């Protein structure tokens, strides 16, 4: 049986709609919001307004690119949370409106579940390699950093998570200190390619178990730069590549050390990464190297599925559809969630 799902993602600053037919992705359209660059971070009010402007044309294009009409859609999956409430409201209200107008069932999706589910997307004519259960996912984004044991498509256990900042936040905040544009993660990734990862040393946290912490690193980076700039006002400009490479190397080291611990404790061989920071070239290489050394099967998402996108919500929606996990019209967005379900 063929199931066609329209996915809608609007949790932060990307307005995205996608169509899957079973596990095959037919379209994935994203309008990123440039307006936040000026402010050096996402401004919630501006994000909601931009979603409101973008959502209709983005949905329209996703249907057209997929070669379907709204009448072909079996269910509408939307992000319920976590995320910015005003942004989530735009996507959920739009999904509800379409659902009522066209009498199409609704499915609410957890944003984090979506990030992990990208590992089950196929493309037309291409069956992608998928991890086998149980596997571990290192989910690293601007809002989250966690180790998740994935037991089945919809069954997840959070093994550890950040106690303060997310890894993406560490990239973005340190980039801001260096005067780099927002979002800083991809900029640091690019500059790091020409730098020496061992040029500078920054403090690493000592957090027990499988939890993470990144606020200390951010502070150590800030103080280090403040002292250096006092002695030499051009220090950042003269050492940009080395600073980026060393910072990136430290973040990757922190991420990988806990990942190795989690994989050992869970006794799995399949290891995946997901979320915006999983686009990072240094992290991707480091995990591949670690996998070769330790006999893991490593799953790296396509770069277009790393940062926020609706393909991840559409595929999560497909697996929820198969279990008839529909939602009612009185469902409300949630800015925070404690579980991935
Ligand atoms: O998953 P995502 O789009 O949004 C959240 O759910 O948070 O992740 C965005 C985060 C930002 O912090 C951004 O700087 C980071 O992902 N990011 C990267 C790279 N591309 C995006 N960080 C490091 N290297 C990259 N190449
Ligand atoms: Zn995300």
Q: DSSP letter for 82, please.
A: S
pLDDT per residue as tens digits for the range 149-187: 999 999 999 999 999 999 999 999 999 999 999 999 999
What ligand 1 atom has the least distance to the C-alpha of 282? 24
Place of tokens 């950093």: 145
Interval between CA 237 and ligand 2 midpoint (Å): 31
Pocket of ligand 1 (CB under 6 A): 12, 141-143, 168, 171-172, 183-186, 189, 275-277, 279-280, 307-308
Ligand nearest to the CA of 173: 1
Cβ distance 94 to 313 under 8 Å?
no
Write out the H or E segment, with its range, that includes residue 18.
Answer: strand 14-21
Ligand 1 atom nearest the C-alpha of 172 is: 14
Mean pLDDT of 112-121: 98
Write the Ramachandran bin of 295: left for phi over 0, alpha for psi from -120 to 50, otherwise beta: left
pTM of this prediction exceeds 0.85: yes
Encode pLDDT of 258-304 as tens digits. 999 999 999 999 999 999 999 999 999 999 999 999 999 999 999 99
Residue nearest ligand 1's atom 22 by CA: 185
Residue nearest to atom 11 of ligand 1 (CA): 142
Cβ-contact 107, 323 below 8 angstroms: no
For residue 23, the tally of other CB atoms under 10 A from its CB is 18
Whole-number Å distance between alpha carbons of 64 and 68: 6
Of 136, 55, 150, 141, the C-alpha closest to 93 is 55
Work out the number of other CB atoms within 10 angstroms of the CB of residue 70: 14
Least Cα distance to 49 among 104, 108, 101, 89 occurs for: 89
């Amino acid at each position: 049986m063929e199931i066609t799902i329209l996915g809608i993602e609007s949790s932060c600053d990307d307005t995205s709609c996608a169509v899957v037919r079973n596990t095959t992705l037919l379209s994935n359209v994203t309008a990123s919001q440039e307006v936040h660059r000026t402010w050096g971070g996402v401004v919630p009010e501006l994000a909601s307004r931009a979603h409101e402007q973008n959502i209709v044309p983005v949905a329209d294009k996703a249907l057209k690119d997929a070669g379907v009409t709204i009448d072909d859609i079996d269910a509408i999956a939307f992000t319920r949370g976590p995320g910015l409430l005003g942004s989530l409201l735009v996507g959920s209200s739009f999904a509800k409106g379409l659902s009522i107008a066209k009498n199409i069932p609704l499915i609410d999706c957890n944003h984090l579940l979506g990030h992990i589910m990208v590992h089950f997307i196929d493309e037309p004519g291409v069956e992608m390699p998928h991890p086998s259960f149980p596997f571990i996912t290192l989910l690293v984004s601007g809002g989250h950093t966690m180790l998740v044991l994935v037991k089945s498509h919809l069954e997840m256990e959070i093994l550890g998570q950040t106690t303060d900042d997310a890894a993406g936040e560490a990239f973005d905040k340190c980039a801001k200190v260096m005067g780099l544009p927002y979002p800083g993660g991809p900029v640091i990734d690019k500059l790091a390619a020409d730098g020496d990862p061992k040029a500078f040393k920054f403090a690493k946290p000592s957090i027990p178990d499988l939890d993470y912490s990144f606020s200390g690193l951010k502070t150590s980076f800030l103080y280090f730069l403040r002292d250096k700039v006092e002695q030499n006002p051009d220090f950042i400009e003269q050492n940009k590549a080395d600073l980026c490479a060393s910072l990136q190397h430290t973040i990757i080291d922190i991420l990988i050390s806990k990942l190795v611990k989690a994989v050992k404790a869970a006794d799995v061989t399949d290891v995946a990464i997901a979320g915006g920071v999983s686009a990072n070239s240094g992290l991707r290489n480091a995990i591949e190297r670690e996998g070769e050394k330790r006999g893991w099967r490593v799953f790296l998402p396509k770069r277009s599925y790393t940062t926020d996108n609706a393909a991840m919500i559409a595929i999560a929606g497909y697996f929820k559809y198969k279990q008839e996990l529909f939602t009612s019209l009185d469902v409300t967005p949630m800015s925070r969630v404690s579980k991935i379900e």
